[in-house]
């Protein structure tokens, strides 16, 4: 192989190697409707348990975890024998077999994080409001330094927004989203 061809192929080889070793990730806020062959309640409320259930079942090609209150009460795991197209929907986290659940920390939001203690007050949320509304309520309050949003079904039927007067250490807790604003 000549030097010119080797040099031209090198970027493609590097890209292929990087792509091949990059782990797949689950998609937060996406559903994969269709292809269901099994569903089960997830008592822990943790999407990791759904991903693990798929890993242990040879027929499973993809999965969708729906939060409590979305598909009738408790959290649910839907195993799929195909890989349906993903559709944006805050109800769920979806992935393909081999995709672990990596919940990103972006826009000042910490997925699956609670900051217990230092409570200032609770804020009423309208139906359908989420972490963005809780963060906005904290920003609007001069005494608020951090916040925690609790999804419906994790500490009660309704979602909760707790504003914090102190910044407390983060702790992993499924169904919670937190952030620090000042």
Tokens of 5: 């061809």
CA distance 148 to 176: 7
For residues 34-55, give the mean pLDDT: 93
Q: Does the domain formed by 105-180 have CATH 3.50.4.10?
A: yes
* CA-closest candidate to residue 97, choices 65, 67, 43, 57: 57
* Superfamily covering domain 23-96: Hepatocyte Growth Factor (3.50.4.10)
Q: Where are the domains of the chain?
A: 23-96, 105-180
Can you tell me the mean pLDDT for 160-167? 96
- Tell me, what's the pLDDT at 103? 60
Residue 65 token pair: 């975890």
Beta strands, E only, 10-137: 27-31, 36-41, 62-66, 76-80, 87-96, 105-106, 109-114, 119-123
Residue 22 clears pLDDT 60, i.e. is over it: no
Asked if residue 147 has pLDDT above 90, the reply is yes
Answer yes or no: is pLDDT of 102 > 70: no
The owner of tokens 């702790």 is 171
Distance CA 64, CA 47 (A): 8
The residue among 104 and 100 whose pLDDT is bigger is 100
Question: What band does 129 get if pLDDT is binned at 50, 70 and 90?
Answer: confident
* β-pairing verdict for 146-150 and 160-164: antiparallel
pTM of the entire predicted model? 0.70
Instruction: Give the separation between CA 126 and CA 116, rounded to whole angstroms.
Output: 23
- Range 141-169 average pLDDT: 93
Same fold, 23-96 and 105-180: yes
Q: Helix-strand-coil percent breakdown of the chain, rounded to 5?
A: 20, 35, 45
Residue 99: φ, ψ to 5°: -95, 115
């Amino acid at each position: 192989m000549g030097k010119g061809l080797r040099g031209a192929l090198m970027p493609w080889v590097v890209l292929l190697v990087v792509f091949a070793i990059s782990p797949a990730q689950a998609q937060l806020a996406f559903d994969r409707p269709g292809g269901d062959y099994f569903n089960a309640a997830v008592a822990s409320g943790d999407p990791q348990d759904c991903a693990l259930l798929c890993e242990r079942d040879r027929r499973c090609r993809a999965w969708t975890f729906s939060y409590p209150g979305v598909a009738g009460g408790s959290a649910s795991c839907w195993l799929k024998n195909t890989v349906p197209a993903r559709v944006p929907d805050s109800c769920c986290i979806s992935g393909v077999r081999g995709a672990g659940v990596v919940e990103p920390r972006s826009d000042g939001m910490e997925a699956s994080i609670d900051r217990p203690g230092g409570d200032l007050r609770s804020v009423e949320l309208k139906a359908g409001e989420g972490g963005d509304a809780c963060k906005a309520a904290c920003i609007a309050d001069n005494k608020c330094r951090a916040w925690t949003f609790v999804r419906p079904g994790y500490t009660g039927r309704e979602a909760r927004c707790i504003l914090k007067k102190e910044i407390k250490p983060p702790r992993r807790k499924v169904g919670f989203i937190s952030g620090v604003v000042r």
